[in-house]
Structure 1
Amino acid sequence: MGCNFEKIYKRIMYSRLPLVLLMAALFSCGSKEQKNTAAAVNRSSGPMLVDGFIVHPQSVSDDIQVPGSLLPAEETQIRAEVSGRIVKLNIEEGSTVQKGTLLVKLFDQDLQAQLKKLQVQLQIAQKTEERQRELLKISGVSQQDYDLSVLQVDNLKADIMSVQIAIDKTEIRAPYQGKIGLRNVSLGSFLSPNDIVATLRQVTQLKLEFSIPEKYAKNVAKGYRVQFKVDGGDDTHHATVIATESGVDQATRTLRVRALVNDSHPELVPGVFAKVDLELGKDADALMIPTQAVIPQARNKQVVVLRRDSAAFVEVETGIRDSAFVQITNGLKPGDTVVTTGLMAIRPSSKIKIGNVKNYQSMQIKQ
């Protein structure tokens, strides 16, 4: 039975009852009216209408792009081992030289003279040793005298070898077949070990060097194939990883990787900047949901899942993500229906109804 506010008002005006009791009766009547109105609204509105997303396994990968540089297979700065004046310069800039080719010859006449002197001394010492050996057979000399002559021969041979090594150091030869860059010295110049004569590079085979974040270190190993483009180039090139650094750089938290370039192209020049495309963290059975379905919390992340006709808040762990989707590594299973709209108004165990249902393929096509 509803309340008649007009009758209650007249009773307040003409009744002899205490005013406080009459006001309490009026307040009680108003509260009942409000409760009846809220109940009527709830019965008329029914379950909350929301959009849903059906979870299915998908094949996804985390594609990233990192900077890199092209390097020659080998690169050597040509320097002299000893100081001296250049008496012969056999360097043609930009040319290809064979292994062992004489590039620079330093002044060595003093060493050649010393070598000849030692060679003459060695001949005399060897004849003396021969005579001493014959005399020793007939006891013409003591064993000690003969041993001293043998020692003299050995010392001279060692001195000759030392001078020959010094002469070899006055010659600078190509350590391998490669292309000579620009030379920095001229004929007649005085050369010291600190001076760079030129740079020799082996450009028939190039290497690609780049660094990846430490979380992907386990995904890249010897034999891994990458593709890249050089700055200003349009073609896509390929390379195969030959080695990685033994540990992660503590300052940058990255792992250095070196790959062997499989292609040969005029735009592939040592030192050129490269953009390396990597497909990392690939998962053939990834559970992907829209990013707006994840509710961040102070200590975890949650999603709202349809359980029969009610909302259930489930704690999840995330993995690979892009601009529209995020991978769920723990907390969901294939076939679950995740709520994607009205998340702020939903309460645990509240009644919900799915209106529009989507999946990963339909949202990908729409994009």
Structure 2
Amino acid sequence: MISSRRRLTLLIGLALLVLSPLVAAQPPTAVIAARASLAAWSDPLEALGTLRADESVTLSATVTETIAELTFEGGESVAAGELLVRLADDEQRADLRVAQALRDERRNAVNRLAQLQSRNLAPRADVEDARARLRQAEAQIQALEARLADTRIQAPFAGIVGFRNVSVGTLVTPGTELVTLDRLEVMKLDFTLPERALGQIQPGLALTATSAALPDTPFRGEIASIGTRIDPISRSITVRAELANPALALRPGMLMQVRLESAPREALVIPEEALIPQGQRQFVLTVQSDGEAYRVEEREVRIGARRAGEVEILEGLAENDLVVAHGTERVRDGQPTRLLGILDDDTTVPQLLRRSRDAAEVNG
């Protein structure tokens, strides 16, 4: 009588004999691969920053006088040195004419005394006193010209003037704000980063900034300078960047979202979906040529940083190695496989699957 264990063994053997041809007849599992390639890579840092004009000033009066002329309406571009506000200057001009007349009189006196002194008809001391009085008159003219210049408010640099909030005839005093002036072709962007990021940044590092007001328009710039002190409370450092603003779309005071591309390098990259995590370890299935067919081989890799849909490979793969990017759950180490295609910038998984279905319909 055959024992139960022996009977079970015979049944399993018969089942394997029956199923082996069926298993062997199954076609290799189809997969889609991607190629490990070198790509530009960086470790992103993100922050919030506030815009400042490249140059910004509020022009104010330095004397007490009434406004005689305004040459701007607000919002227009002005050139460096262009007159913006002229204060009443009749009194200053009259004083200047008096001083100029006194200068001319004393210059004539110096010339007469010099001629007499050359013929020994006037003491040398009189000539020196006359020249001193002439220098005094010339200094008085310089002071009056400076006072006259205080009545003319000019643009110290080219830029865009702000709103006009004063009118002709307004009495102004020293410190009265007359107009703002901003240079906007280049913007300064101030933001803070954690202290630990200090070793990842340096002047010249590229960045991209976006604003809620212009969400679809990225503005590119670079770090111009790094603060010299760490805030002891927040443990952060202030960084200043410069952004080009040729269309003048940015304005001082805007809140910007900043993204810095720190530690730029060339990295070996594969699609993130090719990873097979096993605890703390990461594996991929490489596609190996087996004559006219293919088979998969499991390989452990060490990964670095990740970004949308991609992962940096530090160890375990070489450039141009093929890895299974679609179908990892259907194949195992050493199993034969059929390669449907290789992903690239112009080819997607849906496109490859569609081509495979179309080919099967044609052949069927």
Query: Which structure has the greater CA radius of gyration?
Result: 1
Q: What residue in structure 1 maps to residue 341 of structure 2?
A: none
Q: What residue in structure 2 maps to residue 108 of structure 1?
A: 89
Identity of aligned residues (%): 26
Q: What residue in structure 2 maps to residue 119 of structure 1?
A: 100
1:330-349 correspondence runs (5 A): none
Counterpart contact for 1:76–1:200, Cα < 8 Å: yes
Change (3 A) 1:115 1:152: same
Q: What residue in structure 1 maps to residue 240 of structure 2?
A: 258
Counterpart contact for 1:136–1:146, Cα < 8 Å: yes
Secondary structure at the aligned position of 2:93 is classed as helix
Q: What residue in structure 2 maps to residue 25 of structure 1?
A: none
Q: Does 1:272 align with 2:254?
A: yes
1:63-142 correspondence runs (5 A): 63-142=44-123
Counterpart contact for 1:84–1:191, Cα < 8 Å: yes
TM-score (norm 1): 0.59
Alignment counterpart, residue 164 of structure 1, candidates 116, 140, 145: 145
Secondary structure at the aligned position of 2:180 is classed as strand
Q: What residue in structure 2 maps to residue 177 of structure 1?
A: 158
> Once the two structures are superposed, what CA deviation does each residue of 1:292-325 show, in whole Å capped at 9, x if it has no partner?
859xxxxxxxxxxxxxxxxxxxxxxxx9899xxx
* Deviation at residue 239 of structure 1 after TM alignment: 2.8
Secondary structure at the aligned position of 1:222 is classed as coil
> Once the two structures are superposed, what CA deviation does each residue of 1:73-118 show, in whole Å capped at 9, x if it has no partner?
2211111222221111222111111221111111222221211111
Which letter does structure 2 place at the counterpart of 1:137? Answer: S
Which letter does structure 2 place at the counterpart of 1:219? Answer: Q
Of 83-92 and 201-210, deviating more is: 201-210
Which letter does structure 2 place at the counterpart of 1:107? Answer: A
Which letter does structure 1 place at the counterpart of 2:155? Answer: A
Q: Does 1:154 align with 2:135?
A: yes
Q: What residue in structure 2 maps to residue 190 of structure 1?
A: 171
* Deviation at residue 69 of structure 1 after TM alignment: 2.0
* Deviation at residue 226 of structure 1 after TM alignment: 0.3
* Deviation at residue 166 of structure 1 after TM alignment: 0.7
* Deviation at residue 282 of structure 1 after TM alignment: 6.0
Secondary structure at the aligned position of 1:234 is classed as strand
- CA–CA separation in structure 2 for the residues paired with 1:191 and 1:208: 34
* Deviation at residue 263 of structure 1 after TM alignment: 5.4
Q: What residue in structure 2 maps to residue 54 of structure 1?
A: none
Counterpart contact for 1:76–1:201, Cα < 8 Å: yes
Which letter does structure 1 place at the counterpart of 2:231? Answer: Q
- CA–CA separation in structure 2 for the residues paired with 1:77 and 1:263: 21
- CA–CA separation in structure 2 for the residues paired with 1:201 and 1:186: 21
- CA–CA separation in structure 2 for the residues paired with 1:270 and 1:62: 29
Q: Which has the higher strand share?
A: 2
* Deviation at residue 276 of structure 1 after TM alignment: 0.5
Counterpart contact for 1:213–1:255, Cα < 8 Å: yes
Which letter does structure 2 place at the counterpart of 1:148? Answer: D
Counterpart contact for 1:228–1:275, Cα < 8 Å: yes
Which letter does structure 1 place at the counterpart of 2:250? Answer: L
Change (3 A) 1:76 1:263: closer
Counterpart contact for 1:112–1:167, Cα < 8 Å: yes
Secondary structure at the aligned position of 1:245 is classed as strand
Which letter does structure 2 place at the counterpart of 1:272? Answer: M
- CA–CA separation in structure 1 for the residues paired with 2:77 and 2:245: 20
TM-score (norm 2): 0.60
1:298-317 correspondence runs (5 A): none
- CA–CA separation in structure 1 for the residues paired with 2:84 and 2:246: 28
> Once the two structures are superposed, what CA deviation does each residue of 1:162-196 show, in whole Å capped at 9, x if it has no partner?
11111001110111221111122221111123221
Count the aligned residue pairs: 256
Question: Structure 1: which 5+ residue stretches go unaligned?
Answer: 1-57, 295-318, 328-332, 336-355, 358-367
- CA–CA separation in structure 2 for the residues paired with 1:266 and 1:151: 56
Change (3 A) 1:185 1:174: same
Which letter does structure 1 place at the counterpart of 2:186? Answer: Q
Counterpart contact for 2:185–2:248, Cα < 8 Å: no
- CA–CA separation in structure 2 for the residues paired with 1:130 and 1:179: 51
- CA–CA separation in structure 2 for the residues paired with 1:176 and 1:79: 15
Counterpart contact for 2:205–2:261, Cα < 8 Å: no
